[in-house]
Structure 1
Amino acid sequence: MMLKFKVILLIFLMTSSYAENEAYVDTEGEYETIDDSLFSESKKSSSRNGRLFFPYQHSIADSIFEAFGKNGINKNTADYFAFLRDSYDLPDGLKSPLLEYDFVIIGAGSAGSVLASRLSENRNTTILLLEAGKPEMLLTDVPALAPYFQATDYTWQYYMEPQPGVCMGMINERCFWPRGKAVGGTSVINYMIYTRGRPQEWDRIAADGNYGWSYNDVLNYYKKSEKADLDGYEKNPNRNRNGILPVRFVPKRTKLIKAFLQAGEILGHPTIDYNSPDQLGFGHVQVTIEAGHRASTAKVFLHKQKKRRNLHILPEATATKVIIDPQSKVAYGVEFSRNGRQYLVRARKEVILSAGPIASPQLLMLSGVGPKNHLISKGIHVIEDLPVGKTLYDHICFPGTIFTLNVTNVSVRESAATTLSSIVSWLRDGDNDLATPGGVEGIGYIKTPVSDDPDEIPDIELISIGGSFVADGGPTGSKAVRKGMRIRNQVFDQAFGPIDDTDTWSAFPMLLHPKSVGYIELKDRNPFSHPKMVGNYLTEPSDVATFVAAIRHIQKIAATEPFQKFGARIYPADYLPCRSYQFDSDAYWECAVRMLTATLHHQIATCRMGPAGDPQAVVDPELRVYGISRLRVVDSSVIPRTVSVHTNAPAIMIGEKAADMIKTTWSI
């Protein structure tokens, strides 16, 4: 009966719009008055008023709906189950937060959730954790639904500024940069991949003058969180079984991952724990999943801790400014907006920005900390002239190396995951296709022939998919992955229409160390405007050459006997702008990469860490903002160099490390 109840609830959650949960009531007169002249009406019209919806057909929901349609369930039914979302009620019956806390943390994402959890371990320390997004709910638990949530209110709908020659196949030829807007941040919408980076990369960061950030230093904090269960790898000295963050292998595998690993060994890539510091190689993907369900940082670091009386968590509260005394340059408070009103809360000890690599630099600049001339041009009083947003690195990938197969039912296909029995199986056991993070099954690190790095550091990560992005197609398919990337329908249909919803294999090459550098600026001084995000993708020729070399290596993998058992053949995608190039020529692949340029959501360095005297540094090695007292940045924006990582695990590590730094500073 309980299982049937969960399925029926799932129907309602997947087929309904989501009403706002307005349990929180503000009390008049408790906060200082704030000038609201900058808060334009445009922010109201641009929001969805808290309603979560999917802008395209949802095949998993449809399959459940059809199975239970006879029970009178209506797709347009209002959401009567909003109470199923996680709740973060303030303790002791409080209807509004206090006027003052020891620490105010902006952003309950991968780093902020960890930081709030660790600082609140001391009962005498008070913490307010502000988050612009909503709490999680049942659907965010489903790993396979990651691409769906990139089109909902659980995501900041960021777009890179138009750049000629990249993302040409995307809607409006613009690159989509979704970031998590939820308690749990991007860990609620990402693909849950757990990677740490190579020892040499962290040692280089330390060698630049960032004391305390060598590989051995950060390894201690990776291990502190980790609760690994990896078929024996967890017994290695660089892993930990006793933390609280689950790190697992994906419970469901296709035959294609075996072929990927066997092919890697043929080409000299051993099957290993790819997070091991000892060597490069291929391995089964490691993910933050437990029992087939997503393990977000909110679930891991806040759910059991939220009843602490000294930890106040306030969802749907958007920070708009850090309050800094312009004379003493001491940060002492935060302005935030909630339910259309603006408030100010004070911090006795520190204000901490954990809003992520886009919102953290934006908030610093809105608060008067940033490039002097840029802030003046936006009418912002300059408190500290720092190179905020001047450096931005991102990991981009190419999803278009797709191989057709001459056998059926060997790859992940959405049509196989949308049966009622499959959904019930996931609810019960968490061990089927719904537990796969977008079909990702393996990770491989390679160093291409064009790399000029003298150390054994990869320049490409290969992400092996138990299928490809055609797996979400067909007459009943949601097409969620391609739409999550914002690929135009006509581009997809022309390039891949003939193989839509067929058995395929693909490997995404991810560019680990781009030479191309972007930046972030403000568009205006309205805190509800998205910033101006410039990626400068592929502006350096070496980045293009690395992609082409990676595609050649993927072709070598597919040419090995393990893949030839399945008849793997590269599919000649037909892109209209690329027709002047011979298929499979280097020029064709450059054109193809420029058509389907996709971010992996790993922006870094916008609040770059560096030693005193570093002209590019925004924060010091203890993450304190230069020139401003009692203000830190604790998230992936501080990472100063490109690292071979998906940034969720490093952000968690940064939260762990920052918590110890702050405890030391204040003798907590």
Structure 2
Amino acid sequence: MLWQPINLTEVCPANTQLTACSNFGYVYLSLLVHLFGDSEDRRIQQKLHIQEETFEKEEYDFIVVGAGAAGCVIANRLSAVKHWKVLLLEAGGEQPDVTLVPGLSTSLIGSSIDWSYKTEPNGKSCLARREQRCGWPRGKVMGGSSSINSMVYIRGNRLDYDGWAALGNEGWSYEEVLPYFRKSEDNLDLEGLNCKYHGVGGEQPVSRYLYIDKPNIIMTQAFNQGGLPILDYNGPEQVGAMPAQAVTKDGIRVSTNKAFIQPIRYKRKNLTVKVKAEVFGILINDDNVAYGVNYLKNGKVYTAFAKKEVIVSAGTINSPKLLMLSGIGPKEHLLELNITVKQDLPVGENLQDHVTFNGLIVALPNQTATLIAQDEILDEIKCYANMKVKRGPMSADGPANNIAFIKTEPDLPAPDVQFHIGHLYLDDYVREPQIADELMIVPTPYYDTLLVRAMNLVPKSRGKLLLNPADPYGKPLLYANYLDDPTDVIPILKAVKFAISLENTTAFISNGARYDRTPLAGCTDYEWGTDEYFLCLARLYTSATHHQAGTCKMGPHWDPKAVVDPKLRVYGVPGLRVIDASIMPLVVRGNTNAPSIMIGEKGVAMVLEYWLNKSHG
């Protein structure tokens, strides 16, 4: 019998510490609890007999809000200065061990370690989703989204950072940010030999997956036979294809929590980490200087004071939300919510994300499909759990291992489309296509169908984030505004034609792979393969790629949309910086995890330079 899903909301105890329970995560809870346990941090706490944190005198040199891709880096670097006291606050809990299994990444979506955000309808996209809202998973856990994402390590293109610098952001050109990419990287593959572009010996492991299945090989060969060279997309050129570089080592996920915080958390006495501590306000005095935060933990409100700086690294959604709750944001919006305005800034604007769609389906024949019987999947999970160096299907993230970049016009200066390969169980998709984000999720290595998604890397549409008038402290209103600019679909349609041409490659033909030409519900009035059909899919089956950026835009003082300056200081509020993906003026051409780590490195370097020079001056 093939894999039969179990809805974890029906079997997961309400008080369980394992946070892989979700509406759409389908795994066997009891097996995972037995095999993977709860959390490495909690086991260390028990071994060292660490008690609950005290709250007597909460005064620190620095307070870092958010333990995500940037926040973990910042807390690590600041606490390396032994005479500084650093507080790292994370709204989520400890990182459960189940997050370490690459093959279970999709099972984390919708779980209690996911903020489970959804976009607001705009009438132009996400039309086949429930209430016309696309899902935006974001990590609510130590490590943030680096603990629940697909682990791909992509830096973006040289032109992205040179473009930031050209906008007036001094110090952010490609040559200037490259050292910060290398600083934290520990490249475990051949790319590590190229010391110009890669680092070795940093905290963040980067490696290719130890397991690559046949469909991945087919897609890599097809891209190559379609004209794309095999190359290092984090090297000098980006147009091409390659098995993914990922934040993994020995077959497990290495989040920024595991890379930057766990090795030092119980060794550095000057670093305090508090989980399930949600910051809801930045303290700002009459001189408009930030001097601390208010946060909620265990149902009680606490105050922590910062002698030097408050650094907000809560991510593209929660950083602007926190600023606005603290009186920093668009004046009219804040006044509507009776929030005292501390600084009138365009917080929440400039929201960007790469956009694509589901529906370009590659059907795999039985001898190529990786879907196997239920008992075989359970055996693979058990086998993986017992390995010292994790190998086999569960050590990889299925078809997300396949990455390709193209230019849809030859004269473009850089790629404008990235191919992201997804997976699904075809029968379920055909049965209920209207919930295409909420498919039966089996472990990612097991599937009989590929989704070829062409992402627009340079979207022109801009969205915004607003506080929710019904509950300003709750989930904000997220206006992604996908496909508002009608030209955003043009690169996608051109890339789809390239993708379809791969059906003529030897890789497809010799392995019996083919595109399923059955029109999906809602688009049956159009002929499969036409621009009209794929435009219909783009509007109905819009797919977010979770590369949100830009809501606390970095820019020079003359930029009317800038929230932070090139040193990431919030305009008009001394003692406050934002250091995460929200500062991107333009979203990079690629996934945002690696750039967020770099932003953390470069941002904290500027903090260190300022305060160390000040103390020595």
Partner of 1:54: 22
Q: Which amino acid aligns with 1:432?
A: G
Correspondence list, 1:308-319, <5 A = 308-319=268-279
Q: CA deviation at 1:582?
A: 1.7
Task: Give the one of 372, 389, 392 matched to 2:351.
Answer: 392
Secondary structure at 1:333 match in 2:
strand
Structure 1, unmatched stretches of 5+, are: 1-11, 22-49, 66-74, 493-500
Equivalence for 2:229: 270
The amino acid that maps onto 1:423 is I
Q: Give, as a single letter, the amino acid of the residue that structure 2 aligns with 1:179.
A: R
What is the one-letter code of the residue matched to 2:400? V
Matched, 1:561 2:506: yes
Cα displacement (A) at 1:173: 2.1
* Superposed CA offset, 1:7-61 (max 9, x none): xxxxx9x97536377xxxxxxxxxxxxxxxxxxxxxxxxxxxx976233573455
Instruction: Report the CA distance between 1:229 and its aligned residue.
Output: 1.6
Contact 2:334 2:340 in 1 (8 A): yes
Contact 2:130/2:434, CA 8 A, preserved across alignment: no
In structure 2, the partner of 1:27 is: none
Give the partner amino acid of 2:370.
Answer: V
Evaluate the alpha carbon distance shift between residue 560 and residue 377 of structure 1 in structure 2; reply closer, same or farther with a 3 A threshold. Answer: same
- 1:75-114 matched pairs, under 5 angstroms: 86=42, 95-97=53-55, 98-114=57-73
Secondary structure of the corresponding residue to residue 118 of structure 2: coil
Aligned to 1:419: 377
- Counterparts in 2 of 1:206-245, with a 5 A limit? 206-232=165-191, 234-245=193-204
Does residue 315 of structure 2 align to residue 356 of structure 1?
A: yes
Deviations 1:76-122 (A, max 9, x none): x9x99657664686998673244210001110011001100110001
1:446 maps to 406
Distance 1:195 1:223 in 2: 13
Q: CA deviation at 1:350?
A: 0.4
- Alpha-carbon distance in structure 1 between the residues aligned to 2:271 and 2:73: 12
Residue 439 of structure 1 and its aligned partner are, at CA, apart by 2.8
- Mapped pair 1:302 → 2:266: no
1:478-528 CA distances to partner (integer Å, 9 max, x unpaired)?
x9x9979236x9xx9xxxxxxxx8733442211111111101111138453
Aligned length: 596
Is the CA contact 2:192–2:199 (under 8 Å) kept in the aligned structure 1?
A: no
Q: Quick one: distance in 2 between partners of 1:538 and 1:416?
A: 40
- Structure 1 residue 603 displacement after superposition: 0.7
SS in 2 for 1:270: coil
User: Given the superposition, is the C-alpha separation of residues 106 and 519 from structure 1 closer, same or farther in structure 2, using an over 3 Å criterion?
Assistant: same
2:464 aligns with one of 491, 513, 519: 519
> Structure 1, residues 605-654: CA drift from partner, whole Å, max 9, x if none?
10000011111100000000001100000110001112112111111111
* 1:448-467 deviation digits (Å, cap 9, x = unpaired): 13x8xx642111101245xx
Partner Cα separation in structure 2 for residue 167 and residue 99 of structure 1? 45
- What SS does the aligned partner of 1:549 have? helix
Deviations 1:315-339 (A, max 9, x none): 00000010111x3110011010111
Say if 1:411 and 1:505, in contact at 8 Å, map to a contact too: no
Kindly indicate whether the alpha-carbon contact (under 8 Å) linking 1:18 and 1:52 is maintained by their aligned counterparts in 2. no
Q: Are 1:383 and 2:342 matched, yes or no?
A: yes
Alpha-carbon distance between aligned partners in 1 of 2:166 and 2:565, rounded to the nearest angstrom = 14
Q: Which residue does 2:566 correspond to in 1?
A: 621
Amino acid at match of 2:258: K
Letter in 2 for 1:95: E
Distance 2:375 2:249 in 1: 19
Distance 2:562 2:25 in 1: 46
Amino acid in structure 2 at the alignment position of 1:647: T
Distance 2:333 2:317 in 1: 17
Regions of 4+ moved over 4 Å: 59-62, 79-85, 87-94, 414-418, 471-474, 481-484
Q: Which runs of 5+ in 2 are unaligned?
A: 1-7
Give the residue type in structure 2 aligned to 1:277: P
Distance 1:209 1:416 in 2: 56
Preserved contact between residue 187 and residue 198 of structure 2 (Cα < 8 Å)? yes
Assess if the C-alpha contact under 8 Å between 2:128 and 2:435 holds in 1.
no
Report the Cα offset of residue 400 of structure 1. Answer: 1.9
Residue 51 and residue 193 in structure 1: after superposition, are their counterparts in 2 closer, same or farther (change >3 A)? closer
Partner residue of 1:116 out of 65, 71, 75: 75
Correspondence list, 1:154-303, <5 A? 154-232=113-191, 234-303=193-262
Letter of the 2:358 counterpart: P
Is residue 606 of structure 2 the alignment partner of residue 648 of structure 1? no
Q: Aligned with 1:153: secondary structure? A: coil
- Structure 2: how far apart are the matches of 1:568 and 1:360? 44
**Which range moves more in the overlay, 562-571 or 115-124?**
562-571
Task: Return the alpha-carbon distance in structure 2 between the equivalents of residues 85 and 124 of structure 1.
Answer: 25
Q: Percent identity?
A: 35
Q: 1:614 to 1:92 in 2, by over 3 A?
A: same
Tell me the distance in 1 between the aligned counterparts of 2:540 and 2:527. Answer: 16
Shift of 1:360: 0.4
2:59 partner letter: E
Q: Pick the aligned partner of 2:437 from 465, 469, 485.
A: 485
Distance 1:502 1:380, change over 3 A: closer
Match of 1:611 in 2: 556
SS of equivalent to 1:220: helix
TM-score by length of 2: 0.90
The one of 95, 105, 121 aligned to 1:146:
105
CA–CA distance in structure 2, aligned partners of residues 472 and 653 of structure 1: 41
Residues 610 and 618 of structure 1 are in contact (CA less than 8 Å); yes or no, is this contact kept in structure 2? yes
Please list, as runs of the form range in 1=range in 2, the aligned pairs for 1:498-577 lying within 5 A after superposition.
Answer: 503-524=448-469, 526-577=471-522
| Amino acid in structure 2 at the alignment position of 1:394 | D
Question: Per-residue deviation at 1:138?
Answer: 1.8
For residues 75 and 510 of structure 2, what CA distance do their matches in structure 1 show?
Answer: 51
- Give the counterpart letter for 2:221 in structure 1: Q
- Inter-partner Cα distance in structure 2 for 1:565 and 1:637: 45
Q: SS in structure 1 opposite 2:301?
A: strand
- Aligned residue number for residue 17 of structure 1: 13
Question: Which stretch has the larger CA shift, 571-580 or 116-125?
Answer: 571-580
Match of 1:463 in 2: 420
In 2, Cα distance between equivalents of 1:152 and 1:297:
20
- Following superposition, the deviation at residue 416 of structure 1 comes to 7.0
Give the secondary-structure state (helix, strand or coil) at the position aligned to 1:463.
Answer: strand
CA distance in 2, matches of 1:83, 1:599: 30
Cα offset for 1:291?
A: 1.1
**How far did 1:167 drift?**
1.3
**3-state DSSP class of the match of 2:276?**
coil
Change (3 A) 1:210 1:417: farther
Residue 166 of structure 1, CA deviation:
1.5
Residues 140-189 of structure 1 deviation map (CA, whole Å, 9 limit, x = unaligned): 11112111111111000111112213112222221111110001100111
The 3 A distance-change label for structure 1 pair 255 and 162 is same
1:434 to 394, 417, 423: 394
Q: Is the 8 A contact 1:460 1:512 kept in 2?
A: yes
Tell me, yes or no, if the aligned pair for 1:605 and 1:637 is still in contact at 8 Å: yes
